[in-house]
Structure 1
Amino acid sequence: MNPLMDVSALNHRMTSGERTVLLDVRWALGDPHGREHYLEAHIPGAVYVDLPTALAGPADPGQGRHPLPPLQQFQESARCWGIRDNDVVVAYDDTGSTAAARLWWMLRNAGVSTVFLLDGGLSAWRAAGYPVEGGLEQATLGNVTLTDGAMPVIDATQAAQWPGRGVLLDARAGERYRGEIEPVDPRAGHIPGAVSAPTAGNIGSDGRFLPGEELRQRFIALGVRPDVPTAVYCGSGVTAAHEIAALEIAGFPAALYPGSFSQWSNNPANEVATGAAP
């Protein structure tokens, strides 16, 4: 299923009264003010989701900076956002879906199949001339029942072995992959054998995902094939979900390494490679 919904489709759902749970997931590395941005202006009816507290457990060197929260905690959060069983859920941000994709992936993994990313996010909504509003939205408590394990995941041991059996994509910026800079994790570089595939290459200048065929050609050039297992990591498992959405648009399934480089680099037993080569 295409993970995207465009702004005209969302507007149609809203104006025609079709039940839609709309979630604002504004967060970016280095910008902790997502809630303030939301209070200033958001799509009408959207409920704010705080990524660091609602979509992650406490940072732990053994698990990474944004470990997945316990299922029961996530279910309680989803109910507080107003999600009921069989609801259509639409998540958005204002950074090309790089944060909203974390929620998209987590809900998909928890068994919610009707969850979508608003392609282009808040910027596309505004560009289309649709209204925004300020303040805080309060949702009516939902009753959704979540499960676990609907999406494939790998751990650090599998990540170490993955390049020998498939393609391991590193979704971080190229300079972090090469080890030229590392703003948050203890060591700079990448998992040996991983291929650099920054999430910025998944979207156009308008913040929308590239067409499916363009994404398909991008990933094929990186070694992805239908018969080759693909896995993705990033810094802490957030933007890697964006890459998995892009791969799905392109027609390729992929597994997530939730601990990602923040977990990997905290273990001194794990080798770290630098430079442009895998």
Structure 2
Amino acid sequence: MDRWGINPNVLNVSDATLKFYENILTEVLEIFPSPYIHIGGDECPKEQWRASPAARQRIQELGLADEDELQSWFVGHFDRWLADRGRRLVGWDEILQGGLAPGAVVASWQGYAGGVTAARAGHDVVMCPQQHTYLDWRQADGPDEPVPIAHVRTLEDVYRFEPVPDALTETEAAHVIGVQANVWTEAMDSPRAVDYMTFPRLAAFAEVAWRPLPSAAGRDFTDFEHRMEAAHYARLDALGVEYRPPSGPRPWQRRPGVPGRPRGGTPPER
């Protein structure tokens, strides 16, 4: 793939397609014992379904209202299929469109809203709002930084991420079963570039994830910085992790023509 953006091609909604993915998931379940199976479900354009006689016929046969409900039907099929095998489906928050499958877990990446909606409906949620947990977002302004995707998210920004929004009641908040940091690598050309974007922010995120939720009250950024300087940067050095130093970009990152910088503009936000 040599271009940015969302691919317009979507799955056919035939029985053969369902069977194909059942076969794939059968192999996935044999390899991975996790109770949670993430099937994606994000950024699904509906134009091809709207133009497809087969998709329109499927909508009519199933008594669905529109293409959003068609996607919900597809997700619901695999929600039931996985539940029959003792597993739970996880999907990005777009699976809320058209109605949420009964046992689905929502990974809320488009901010908090999807997670709040799902939790209020009694569904479990993994909070991963992009404005706090996307580690491909740049860590500082300036021409020496890597590809300027989205907005600046500093080490402190990540450290102060609160997974449980105030909008949730105590009962609803219990549905926030975890958090997740995401590192999308389409603008990173090497493992060292991934190291640079991921660390030390992943260390800050770990403190968020490992504390009981809600966790903000027990965090002290000044103390965290001290512990990073006193010990943890040395650990990363010993492991060969090419993290972003507090002083700024590494020399290899500063050279002209940073690897991975696309020509002709800034890539879109995920």
TM range (shorter): under 0.3
TM-score where L is the length of structure 2: 0.26
TM-score where L is the length of structure 1: 0.26
With CA pairs under 8 Å and 6+ residues apart, which has the higher RCO, 1 or 2? Answer: 1
Q: Which has the higher helix share?
A: 2
